Structure 1
């Protein structure tokens, strides 16, 4: 079974949402795994690993928040967000 849009020749029925959710979960857990690896004192690539894990975790949290707010990352319309201070 193929899930790649270019291979399938058509968009998935859910507009890619399931694939995005799976990617978000994988990025979140990969970020946490990398964070644990970077904490190992004898790991020689600690600094670069630490610099990669935080953006992965932050990206996953950002996408989750936007999807919970009703945004569709693959759609053309986005719901209005309340302005700060109002």
Structure 2
């Protein structure tokens, strides 16, 4: 049985950068790089400046550059809020 996709939102201080369903998210935190798959434990982390890579269910990738923010995961919902973020 396939697991439900992640619901992902990448938000900058003044606008939504991207949102949708994904199979995986990879981001850089101040403690190192983290990969998030469906079923990930709830967490809150401080983002380090760098890429946020979102893999869609079909294999396509969305890449955003993000700085100064946080990442939260709960119930297959991933929210990335950054002072500055834009699609690459």
Q: TM-score, normalised by structure 1?
A: 0.21
Q: More strand by proportion, 1 or 2?
A: 2
Higher Rg of the two aligned structures: 1
More helix by share: 1
Identify which of structures 1 and 2 has the higher relative contact order when contacts are C-alpha pairs closer than 8 Å and 6+ apart.
2
